[in-house]
Structure 1
């Protein structure tokens, strides 16, 4: 296990009716708030009106930026930066899922940079201290509510890139399971894939003796796998919603990845796919991850065997064979939820595989289990077909 420093400054407010605290929490950081939202779903469920009323009750001055889409766009980030600068906003309040939160983070990052915000993504420019971010979460998926990461798409360049900074951690995140009940089932299930994929990226690596982190990771995986079918059968099951919500936060708040090498190649490959085809992130990960697993299993067969034995309960002595059965079990699990695990099933053929491989490896080889160059990524994408 590697040396590490762990610090997560985000305050989590969890539970039914915790949304009622948004006004007082936001007020702690100033008078002027930019309310950042998606494409209208929170208005349909009454959450928008509730949040606005709670902010007004604290006599906060509300400005708005709406229309955030899945795979959030840099164009809207630029618009948000302009609003914040012109109105001297004190705090950003993201009410939505990961795309809304990431938009808020990108706005915050761009505020302290004089050039175009996209430079922060392409040139790896360090992010400076910036204004606070608050969150009211509506989707269990990205874990963005408790980390400093953001992923933004540029439709002009057909790129989907990430930034990360300790200055982008939300000051507070409100996790009210009731706010997730209205999420459509397909997006709920894609979120579940996203949660598992975050765990996979940290679990499958070559780090020795990170036993506690791996057991944390296996616990999250088992909990998600046990709970997902219940949620698929009854999307209004509030207890299952709460369990998945908390799993999503813990999957990417840093605790299961400390002291570990980690991998993150599959995310880079998925970003290249969704940059070109604008598919849901979780759907792309359901397709990429099992095939990445089969491509690299020979490097760490013992870790894949642990996955099969400790998560799926598969028995056997040969690590490689047991590990393969674990991967097949994952594919069966996704398929049982109605989630495709091949590109051809969602209308993507081999026409742009090379372009995807180039985008995934734009900054050099990716991953750590096995360093993947453009040719490796191309082979994985072929397997995904």
Structure 2
């Protein structure tokens, strides 16, 4: 197990009717004027927005509404909202929704707090010294952004999706009521659930394999539970226990716990970020369209790890005389799970038609500032191009 530092100070307020505590939670963080950051109409339709306004009012807090959040949020939105923060003397940001709303709020918190251009931060040219405090009401299980130190935004002109990590942007609290996810469109539940799986797999397929047993077992249990919960929530959208498991797993998969003592990979996420940055793909859909192709490309780097995944997570019968066959069947089994629940397993299934120039641009964007991506098997530009090309029709295993 590698040395590590683990710090996660985000306060989790979990359970039924927990949204009613938001006013008090903001007040405890010394808020005076709160910017409520969200997008879409569903928060109005399901009554969540009214509950939030009432709770803030009861706590004696002023609030400003910013309802311009879009999927795959971009820097231009952040800058527009940051100007409102300064104009209205906002001192606390409250995101309501999933990763898009939370990342927008984190971006606003950076842009509004200093003279640093957030684009410089996303390019890695500047570090954040301070930012506005952020709180979260999570209504979509998936991104884990409600308890993470990461922000991901698209730089508009270049259509580059870039991430920045800092404990300074970690939310002060996250309110998580599984009931708020009942009315989500099915594709958002499925995409979020698969994002949870991918966050876990990025850490599970590690180049650190010595004495990682504890985190391996935690990861395997989470993967199995999430797959079961996705099926249950698809069958009954109001299955509270399934929704609760998805919501809590989303945080546990991405709050840093499952990467303690190991080096994570993140190649699949880097590949997907360029896909969604250019073509506005739903993040979870992009991940499932790419994962099996990545896995089949890299699995020989550590056959034993893919063998373990196949046996312990996907419950493939172990063939100790041919561990490669077992490893490939594990990749096939997860890909079949994605198909079973209705997620895409190829770029074609995303409805995209990519040409050679598109793939060249995505590969270059992946490598901006580096020569490789990923750690399980570092991928050069030619590797990235091959994976994108293979993923057009899907790189799943069809048997020996």
Q: Does 2:90 match 1:89?
A: yes
Q: Which string of whole-angstrom CA distances, capped at 9 and with x for unpartnered residues, describes residues 130-181 of structure 1? A: 2211111000010001111011112321111111100011100000001111
CA distance in 2, matches of 1:133, 1:123: 22
Q: Which string of whole-angstrom CA distances, capped at 9 and with x for unpartnered residues, describes residues 306-331 of structure 1? A: 10010011121132221110000011
Shift of 1:113: 3.6
Q: What does 1:106-121 correspond to in 2, within 5 Å? A: 106-121=107-122
Correspondent of 1:380 among 365, 370, 387? 387
3-state SS of 1:162 partner: strand
Residues 308 and 323 in structure 1, CA contact (< 8 A), matched pair in contact too: yes
Q: Does 2:279 match 1:277?
A: yes
Q: Which string of whole-angstrom CA distances, capped at 9 and with x for unpartnered residues, describes residues 288-321 of structure 1? A: 1111111110101111111001001112113222
Q: Does 2:218 match 1:216?
A: yes
Residue of structure 2 in register with 1:361 after alignment: 367
Correspondent of 1:238 among 223, 237, 240? 240
Q: What does 1:1-385 correspond to in 2, within 5 Å? A: 1-29=1-29, 30-207=31-208, 208-314=210-316, 315-317=318-320, 318-351=322-355, 352-364=358-370, 365-385=372-392
Residues 109 and 128 in structure 1, CA contact (< 8 A), matched pair in contact too: no
3-state SS of 2:257 partner: coil
CA distance in 2, matches of 1:243, 1:188: 12
3-state SS of 1:283 partner: helix
3-state SS of 2:258 partner: coil
Shift of 1:279: 0.7
TM-score (norm 1): 0.98
Shift of 1:31: 0.9
CA distance in 2, matches of 1:98, 1:363: 25
Q: Which string of whole-angstrom CA distances, capped at 9 and with x for unpartnered residues, describes residues 75-105 of structure 1? A: 1100121122222222101111111001111
Shift of 1:114: 1.4
Shift of 1:215: 0.8
Moved over 4 A (4+): none
Q: Which runs of 5+ in 2 are unaligned?
A: 393-400
CA distance in 1, matches of 2:176, 2:297: 37
CA distance in 1, matches of 2:269, 2:11: 27
3-state SS of 1:297 partner: helix
Residues 14 and 176 in structure 1, CA contact (< 8 A), matched pair in contact too: yes
CA distance in 2, matches of 1:99, 1:316: 43
Q: How large is the RMSD of aligned CA atoms in angstroms?
A: 1.1
CA distance in 2, matches of 1:193, 1:70: 17
Segment of structure 1 superposing worse, 116-125 or 227-236: 116-125
Shift of 1:356: 1.1
Shift of 1:348: 1.8
Residue of structure 1 in register with 2:398 after alignment: none
TM-score (norm 2): 0.94
Residues 112 and 128 in structure 1, CA contact (< 8 A), matched pair in contact too: no
CA distance in 1, matches of 2:116, 2:226: 42
C-alpha spacing 1:350/1:76, structure 2 compared with 1 (3 Å) = closer
Segment of structure 1 superposing worse, 225-234 or 168-177: 225-234
Q: Which runs of 5+ in 1 are unaligned?
A: none
CA distance in 1, matches of 2:124, 2:174: 29
Segment of structure 1 superposing worse, 279-288 or 75-84: 75-84
Residue of structure 1 in register with 2:395 after alignment: none
CA distance in 2, matches of 1:170, 1:319: 43
Matched residue pairs, number? 385
CA distance in 2, matches of 1:178, 1:231: 12
